[in-house]
Amino acid sequence: MANGSGTPQGNGHAAGPAPLDASRTTVTLAASLKPVPPAEELVFGKIATDHMAIAHYDPVNGWSAPEIKPYGPLMLDPLSSCLQYSTSLFEGMKAYLGADDKVRLFRPEMNMARMDRSRERIALPPVDFNEVLKIIKRFVKLEERWIPRVQGHSLYIRPTLIGTRASLGVGASDHATLYVICSPTGPYFRVARPLSLKAVGDYVRSWPGGTGGYKLSLNYAPTFHPQTVANKEGYDQILWLLGDKITEAGAMNFFAVLMRDDGDWDVVTPSVDGTILPGVTRHSCLELTGAHGSEISLYGLPSNLKLHPQERDITFTELEEASASGKLLEVFVVGTAVVVASVEKIGADGKKDIVLQRYEGSFGPVARGLYEKITGIQEGREQFRDWSVVCE
Amino acid sequence: MANGSGTPQGNGHAAGPAPLDASRTTVTLAASLKPVPPAEELVFGKIATDHMAIAHYDPVNGWSAPEIKPYGPLMLDPLSSCLQYSTSLFEGMKAYLGADDKVRLFRPEMNMARMDRSRERIALPPVDFNEVLKIIKRFVKLEERWIPRVQGHSLYIRPTLIGTRASLGVGASDHATLYVICSPTGPYFRVARPLSLKAVGDYVRSWPGGTGGYKLSLNYAPTFHPQTVANKEGYDQILWLLGDKITEAGAMNFFAVLMRDDGDWDVVTPSVDGTILPGVTRHSCLELTGAHGSEISLYGLPSNLKLHPQERDITFTELEEASASGKLLEVFVVGTAVVVASVEKIGADGKKDIVLQRYEGSFGPVARGLYEKITGIQEGREQFRDWSVVCE
């Protein structure tokens, strides 16, 4: 009857593959729950919570009903597109538990919008990311006991989309799996000191027409070998160059603070030109810098100090010159995992180290102001616009 | 006793993690075997044979005993490095069944050497690829019934190495899985006509300091969106440009044949400068071209025609000019999957198409000579140096 009726009514496929629908989510709880380790023992990304959220797409049926179910392995065909051709992408988000016992996300709609751009760049099937955010909120509330109740700690959320077409034919994946996992986390860098960077130009992270502007898994593997070499040389992270131009630092966005002739400070970060990840923290730092002295006052900075956020090219040579002339006030890196971290030294083969001024504690003045403000908003201690979103 | 003896004898870990050892391979046969489809129904990379070969690495124990076992899904932690950070790489090889009933591989040591370079580039754990080749030979012999006994058909072999570290920390994977799968295959392109290419420079496949010179999974996903667009515009494959410079075509190496003033022919392919995959077929085409008229005679070409293999930069502008002046004799692309395929047309946005001369059949003269020679060697109909390796 269903196949022979000739009418589209009652046939779920008549309108094409089913879209992702958070309201169809089923929940299966783990039979036993894992112990939550003490906050001070947490290492970034090592352990997952008790459950995961998952949904599957095929071109005939579309998206399956999402499931929240006990955390466990994925079963993947060895031919899968994600394994053979790296059709995979992710986001990094965090959930915070406030003193008011509310669970908050930080600007999650920006992650969802970026995830959709990443998806399109590697031709994965369509996803309604409004629905993904609904699933994430529900999932995070379920895992609330995993959110460390310690300042500077949070539950790291990793939404992931992978291509699961089982064929070696070199082409787009028309099958996909979306999954979300969570991992409780403390400070990304366990060291309580500023970072050292090694400027690298012979390995290149991104280039015009490439994928450096998207949060794709494939941007990371090529960085591991040079990162390992830099670590052996005593550097914490790589400062990625494209020619003389600075792009990113490790997997983080880069900022430099420069003294102007009029006494104001320029807060400079590379433009989003396709080689730079448009980071949520990067964007937030630019907005907060611009708001200092009017809408807000950043901790530790005089409110009559004018900060000028600038998105523009910045070269290694400019850094060297600004350092030599005493105009380079501070350098810091930002990202969801690290939030904000200051830099104390930048080395490069055959060049003199750029040594940054050391400030009290491990932060430069702008880095500290931004760190305090952002974590304050994230943890619900402060309000700023609609940046903090409560999971009801 | 074992832990307390204090002597290294009998302790397999004393000398560090165990290396991969093909002699430890265990074989578990599938309870029932799949039907082998008729050769004419084969689509590239769609079906796998009955078994797979697999081994796992962890930093304490090293490589597990390799297993040949029934084909089935991999169980992967959702945190796995290969899914999150694209630590995965592969090779493409083929096994041929000769009229003499022998199973042959084509220059497999070149694939193994390249696979090791790919492994090093993304910092995966060490593998002895001599042992991998032994495992492949044994596995392929076991799957012999899957090798189509039809000229131009073969068993495609896909050795794959993936990072399996289960952590979101952005760094090298110290766990890995090596697996080999096989898929019977006919001609890569089902169309019996030359290909059309679209020259693309706004999406860029590879870059100096990038990974285009390595056979990494991550080189492929970024090509799927522009490839889909090109297909919709009626082109078969993309001709990748870096500025004006030609790099590759689709996932294949590029060749152009140019008439010289002295009547000889230049057979030109881009140099291996880090942006070009050093293809086994590419390398073989250069060697055979150089040997024509002395060591061998390529089918259909006068033996007194001198062919000059050249590895050098070639630009889109040079192609246009050579086409306009009548000096562009033919263009073809090469790779393990396709072997050799001729090109009939190259388009570019806002430019006049470069239209290549049509020859009898779907091949230009050099392309045909190379195709016949290479498949002859592969299928054991011809001998050339030590290029064809029999699986005993």
Segment B68-74 shows an average pLDDT of 98
Distance in angstroms (rounded) separating the CA atoms of residues B22 and B13: 18
pLDDT, tens only, A309-324: 999 999 999 999 999 9
Using a CB-CB distance cutoff of 8 angstroms, which residues of chain A are in contact with residue B167?
A: 45-46
The SS3 assignment for A94 reads strand
Using a CB-CB distance cutoff of 8 angstroms, which residues of chain A are in contact with residue B183?
A: 79, 168
Those residues whose C-beta lies under 8 Å from the C-beta of residue A161, and which sit 6 or more positions away, are A88, A89, A90, A115, A118, A119, A124, A127, A176, A177, A178
Among B269, B298, B310, B306, which Cα is nearest to B384's?
B298
Using a CB-CB distance cutoff of 8 angstroms, which residues of chain B are in contact with residue A158?
A: 79, 84, 168
Those residues whose C-beta lies under 8 Å from the C-beta of residue B229, and which sit 6 or more positions away, are none
Q: For position B64, what pLDDT does the model report?
A: 98
Segment B302-314 shows an average pLDDT of 97
CB contact under 8 A, B204 and A208: yes
Segment B63-91 shows an average pLDDT of 98
pLDDT, tens only, B178-227: 999 999 998 877 667 899 999 999 999 999 999 999 999 999 999 999 99
Tokens of A114: 């970026």
CB contact under 8 A, A207 and B211: no
Instruction: Tell me which chain B residue has its CA closest to the CA of residue A240.
Output: B209
Distance in angstroms (rounded) separating the CA atoms of residues A24 and A19: 11
Using a CB-CB distance cutoff of 8 angstroms, which residues of chain B are in contact with residue A211?
A: 222
Among B189, B227, B188, which Cα is nearest to B205's?
B227
CB contact under 8 A, B170 and A90: no
Instruction: Tell me which chain A residue has its CA closest to the CA of residue B72.
Output: A77
Q: For position A191, what pLDDT does the model report?
A: 65
Residue B3 has pLDDT above 50, yes or no: no
CB contact under 8 A, B73 and A75: yes
pLDDT, tens only, B113-149: 999 999 999 999 999 999 999 999 999 999 999 999 9
Using a CB-CB distance cutoff of 8 angstroms, which residues of chain A are in contact with residue B75?
A: 73-75
CA distance B337 to chain A (A): 10
CA distance A46 to chain B (A): 5
Distance in angstroms (rounded) separating the CA atoms of residues B212 and B219: 7
Segment A22-39 shows an average pLDDT of 97
Q: For position B371, what pLDDT does the model report?
A: 96
CA distance A173 to chain B (A): 9
Among A54, A57, A20, A13, which Cα is nearest to A174's?
A57
Distance in angstroms (rounded) separating the CA atoms of residues B367 and B194: 11
Tell me the torsion sign for CA atoms A167, A173, A175, A176: positive
Q: What is the share, in percent, of chain B residues with pLDDT greater than 70?
A: 96
Using a CB-CB distance cutoff of 8 angstroms, which residues of chain A are in contact with residue B123?
A: 224-225, 228
Q: What is the share, in percent, of chain A residues with pLDDT greater than 90?
A: 91
Those residues whose C-beta lies under 8 Å from the C-beta of residue B4, and which sit 6 or more positions away, are none
Size of interface A-B (CB pairs under 8 A): 199
Residue A54 has pLDDT above 70, yes or no: yes
Q: For position B181, what pLDDT does the model report?
A: 98
User: Could you give the residue range(s) of every CATH 3.30.470.10 domain in chain A?
Assistant: 22-185
Instruction: Tell me which chain A residue has its CA closest to the CA of residue B89.
Output: A84
CB A131 within 8 A of CB A112: no
Distance in angstroms (rounded) separating the CA atoms of residues B87 and B68: 23
CB contact under 8 A, B78 and A73: yes
- The DSSP code for A58 is E
pLDDT, tens only, A329-352: 999 999 999 999 999 999 999 999
Residue A102 has pLDDT above 50, yes or no: yes
DSSP code per residue over A356-368: PPP-STT--HHHH
pLDDT band per the 50, 70, 90 thresholds, residue B360:
confident
Rg for chain A, CA atoms, rounded: 23
- The DSSP code for A296 is B
Segment B230-243 shows an average pLDDT of 97
Tokens of A373: 């403000």
pTM of the model: 0.96
- Partner-chain residue, chosen from B44, B86, B162, that has the shortest CB–CB distance to A169: B44
Distance in angstroms (rounded) separating the CA atoms of residues A16 and A300: 56
Best of A170, A177, A214, A242 to mutate (most B CBs within 10 Å, chain B): A170
CB B193 within 8 A of CB B344: yes
Residue B1 has pLDDT above 60, yes or no: no
Q: For position B392, what pLDDT does the model report?
A: 87
Among A373-382, B55-64, B185-194, the least confident range: B185-194
CB contact under 8 A, A172 and B202: no
Q: For position B189, what pLDDT does the model report?
A: 75
Burial class (CB in 10 A: 0-12, 13-18, 19+), A360: exposed
Residue B243 has pLDDT above 80, yes or no: yes
Using a CB-CB distance cutoff of 8 angstroms, which residues of chain B are in contact with residue A75?
A: 73-75
Residue B16 has pLDDT above 70, yes or no: yes
Using a CB-CB distance cutoff of 8 angstroms, which residues of chain B are in contact with residue A223?
A: 170
Q: For position B8, what pLDDT does the model report?
A: 39
Instruction: Tell me which chain B residue has its CA closest to the CA of residue A208.
Output: B204
Provide the ipTM. 0.96
Using a CB-CB distance cutoff of 8 angstroms, which residues of chain A are in contact with residue B172?
A: 224-225, 227-228
CB contact under 8 A, A88 and B87: no
Instruction: Tell me which chain B residue has its CA closest to the CA of residue A337.
Output: B169
CB contact under 8 A, B122 and A221: yes
CB contact burial B238-259 (16+ within 10 A = b; e otherwise): bbbbbeebbbbbbbbbbbbbbe
Say how far residue A167 (Cα) sits from the centre of its chain: 30
Residue B301 has pLDDT above 70, yes or no: yes
- The DSSP code for A105 is E
Domain B22-185 CATH assignment equals 3.30.470.10: yes
Residue B11 has pLDDT above 60, yes or no: no
CB contact under 8 A, A220 and B170: yes
Using a CB-CB distance cutoff of 8 angstroms, which residues of chain B are in contact with residue A207?
A: 204, 207, 210
Residue A2 has pLDDT above 80, yes or no: no
Instruction: Tell me which chain A residue has its CA closest to the CA of residue B156.
Output: A168
The more confidently predicted of residues B7 and B201 is: B201
- The DSSP code for A65 is P
Using a CB-CB distance cutoff of 8 angstroms, which residues of chain A are in contact with residue B120?
A: 225
Those residues whose C-beta lies under 8 Å from the C-beta of residue B48, and which sit 6 or more positions away, are A78, A79, B71, B181, B182, B183
Segment B228-235 shows an average pLDDT of 97
- Partner-chain residue, chosen from A83, A171, A227, that has the shortest CB–CB distance to B82: A83
| End-to-end CA, chain B | 43
CB B66 within 8 A of CB B22: yes
Alpha helices in B302-384 (DSSP H): 316-324, 365-378
Alpha helices in B292-340 (DSSP H): 316-324
Using a CB-CB distance cutoff of 8 angstroms, which residues of chain A are in contact with residue B73?
A: 75-78
Pairing label, strands A88-90, A93-97 = unpaired
Tell me the torsion sign for CA atoms A294, A298, A301, A307: negative
CB atoms within 10 A of CB B303: 11
The more confidently predicted of residues A82 and A188 is: A82
Best of B54, B162, B168 to mutate (most A CBs within 10 Å, chain A): B168
Q: For position A187, what pLDDT does the model report?
A: 83
- Partner-chain residue, chosen from A73, A90, A251, that has the shortest CB–CB distance to B75: A73
Rg for chain B, CA atoms, rounded: 23
Q: For position A190, what pLDDT does the model report?
A: 66
CA-based angle B370:B248:B178, to the nearest 5?
90
CB A369 within 8 A of CB A267: no
- Partner-chain residue, chosen from A162, A167, A203, that has the shortest CB–CB distance to B83: A162
pLDDT band per the 50, 70, 90 thresholds, residue A226:
very high
Distance in angstroms (rounded) separating the CA atoms of residues A204 and B208: 7
CB contact under 8 A, A45 and B169: yes
Q: For position A186, what pLDDT does the model report?
A: 87
Among B193, B191, B221, which Cα is nearest to B205's?
B221
pLDDT, tens only, A260-308: 999 999 999 999 999 999 999 999 999 999 999 999 999 999 999 999 9
Residue B61 has pLDDT above 60, yes or no: yes
Q: Which CATH number fits domain A195-382: 3.40.50.300, 3.20.20.120, 3.20.10.10, 3.40.50.150?
A: 3.20.10.10
pLDDT, tens only, B83-97: 999 999 999 999 999
CB B210 within 8 A of CB A242: no
- The DSSP code for A126 is P
Tokens of B271: 């140099």
- The DSSP code for A80 is B
Tell me the torsion sign for CA atoms A364, A367, A369, A372: negative
Alpha helices in B9-157 (DSSP H): 81-85, 108-121, 129-142
Distance in angstroms (rounded) separating the CA atoms of residues B305 and B383: 22
CA distance B291 to chain A (A): 32
User: Could you give the residue range(s) of every CATH 3.20.10.10 domain in chain A?
Assistant: 195-382
CB contact under 8 A, B222 and A220: no
Those residues whose C-beta lies under 8 Å from the C-beta of residue A275, and which sit 6 or more positions away, are A205, A206, A207, A208, A210, A212, A213, A242, A247
Segment A15-37 shows an average pLDDT of 96
Q: What is the share, in percent, of chain A residues with pLDDT greater than 70?
A: 96
Alpha helices in B89-238 (DSSP H): 108-121, 129-142, 221-232
